[in-house]
Structures are given as structure tokens and as C-alpha cells.
Amino acid sequence: MDPSLYKSVTTRRSLKYSYYLSAPTGGKPVLLFVHGFPDTSNDWRYQVAFFKAQGYGLIVPDMLGYGGTDKPTDYTQYTLSLMSQDVIDILDAEKVEKAVAVGHDWGSILVSRLANYHPDRFIAFAFLGGYAPPSETKLDTCLQTKQRVGYEVFGYWSYFAEEGAHKGIEKNFDSFYSLLLAEDPKLWLSHVAPTGALKAWVEADKRTPTAPYLSEEEVKLQMEALLRGGLEGPLCWYKVRVSGLDIEDGKRITPESYFIQKPVFFGGATQDCVSLLALSKIVVEQYTKGPLTVKEYETGHWIMWQAKDKLNQDLLEWFQTL
């Protein structure tokens, strides 16, 4: 993405955020794209190019811990309520009264909190991975998911929350990143989802072929961008979850605010072994009270790359209904 179109703002809690900005034309709304782990704003490049050409406004932040944005190492700075307000501060700085929010992975969870805390600032919400209502018990998501599907799904969370985990991952980053982008998405069932499996993979410095939907050059550039900033900040998102801090953080959300009254787009990946389509679909149907659009993609976790053309077209058609 064009580096000259990046801006920065200091939020009310004195953190600097870097974000890509493109103004709308022809009365089109502003789209807010929120990335997940381990990504940067540049991971939305296919969507940015497509929707910029369509005249939509774009705000695409490097989220806290990533890219040109600040990277505090105190995990208490990464609560979803605080980061949600950071995003609102960006909208305020650009005088954007209302936007359409689109999130993937952790970005989908952050967009969930935007829907809970700041619904009036958004026209609609799109979740690539699913809507995440506030957690009410420690790691309830892990336990409930295991009970429903019969195997661990989020076993890697505890590894990411270990003190110093970033050092081992950075040391064997080729190993780590090859698994994240594995050509065979089912490898996540045995080497990511179970407790201890991802740590064992990284410590053994194992490798696997990466999926062909990203070129070698793209993979190289993404890895370089992540290593420049390091993984200590990004892993703080998981420390908040595993520590239970998110439970206290979510208590300020009223039960009625769990439900979304605005239009919702849900995009689920049929081969994603972590963000399980069937369970995510049940949740988003339960909590969406406005119009709901559901699309399925024959992809692994990285919908915005593997199904970029179909996703862009589906989102465009949905945006045109708003």
C-alpha cells in the first residue's frame, strides 16, 4: 500500500497509531478494516486496492503492537475496551462520524467490541471469523468449543501467553510462519490447536510448504514487517485473554449491548480449523438482530488472500445495500 497515504495520530491515552487513509468520493461511506494476528494493515492490500477504485473511503490501522503503531509491552494496555476507544479516536481525528467496520481474526473480536461499546459510530459490521460476545468465565471459549467439537481448538493461546514466548517464535520465525500459511490448512488440527503442539513445532524448527495464494516475495515482505516490530506486543492480545483480564473488561458491557441491531456480514472459512464456521455461524445468528448476510468461502483462515476476488465482490454487494 502507498506509504505516502499513511498518517498517524496520538490517542487520548498517549499512544501513537499509524493508519492508511484514503478519502471517499461520490458520497461513498468510509470503510474501517481491522487486522488480526500476526498481521499489519498491509494485509488488507487486496481489499484496499479494490475498494479505493470503487470510491470508498478507507481507514486501515496498524493495530496496537504492529507496524508503525506503538508497541507497549504491558499487556494491560491491550484490553479491548481501550483499543476500541483508540479506534474511535482515529475516527474522531479524521472527522468520520460513521463508518462500516470489517475485521478478521483478532480484528473481528475488536470489531465485536466496537459493536458493543460504540454502535452509534458505525453503519454496519462485517466479521471474517465471527462475532465474539464478551467472555463471562476464564477461557470459557476454549472449554465450550472442546465440548462441542471434541478436540482442542485454542490450545496455542497458553503458549502465546507464556513469558518470553516471543523470543522463541522470533528465533525460529520461518518455522512459525510456514505453519501459519501452511499449504495444507488441516495441519492446524495437529500442530496449532492442541496445547503444546505449536510450541513443539517452533522449538523443533519444523517447516512446511506455504500456500500458493501468496507469492514468495509477499511472504518475505510480511515476515520482514512482523520481525521489524517483534512479536512481544502482538502476543499481549493473548495475555489479556488468558489472564482473565478480558472478563473484568467486558463487565462494563450491558447484556442488551451484546446484541447487534445494525446490519451484519459474516464470512466463514470452511477449512479454518480455529475459527470454526459452524460454531461462529450459530453465534452470529444468535446475536444479530438487524439484517444478516452470511457467506461461506472454501478457504483456510486467510480469507482476504485466498478468496480475495470473491470476498471483495461479496462485500461490495453488501455495502451497496447499506
* Partner residues linked to 34 by β-bridges: 103
Structure pTM?
A: 0.96
**DSSP helix/strand/coil, 154:** coil
Residues in the chain predicted with pLDDT less than 70, given as ranges, are 137-150
Chain mean position to CA 134: 16
The DSSP bridge pattern shows strands 30-34 and 57-61 to be parallel
The upper half-sphere exposure of residue 292, i.e. CA atoms within 13 Å in the direction of its Cβ, equals 18
The predicted structure's pLDDT at residue 143: 54
DSSP 8-state class, residue 207:
-
Q: Enumerate domains of the chain plus CATH numbers.
A: 3-319 (3.40.50.1820)
* Partner residues linked to 122 by β-bridges: 99
Backbone angle region of 242, left / alpha / beta, with phi > 0 → left and psi within -120 to 50 → alpha: alpha
DSSP 8-state class, residue 288:
B
| Burial class, 321, CB count within 10 angstroms (exposed 0-12 / middle 13-18 / buried 19+) | exposed
The predicted structure's pLDDT at residue 152: 81
Angle between helices 277-287 and 140-149 (to 10 degrees): 120
Q: What is the pLDDT of residues 71-106, one digit of tens each?
A: 999 999 999 999 999 999 999 999 999 999 999 999
Question: How far apart (Å, rounded) are the C-alpha atoms in residues 28 and 283?
Answer: 30
DSSP 8-state class, residue 78:
G
The predicted structure's pLDDT at residue 233: 98
Q: ∠ CA 298-300-301 to the nearest 5 degrees?
A: 130
Burial 240-264 (b: 16+ CB within 10 A, else e): bbbeebbbebbeebeeebbebebbb
The predicted structure's pLDDT at residue 153: 86
Chain mean position to CA 308: 16
**DSSP helix/strand/coil, 30:** strand
Q: Is residue 108 within 8 Å of 130, Cβ to Cβ?
A: yes
Question: How far apart (Å, rounded) are the C-alpha atoms in residues 21 and 56?
Answer: 11
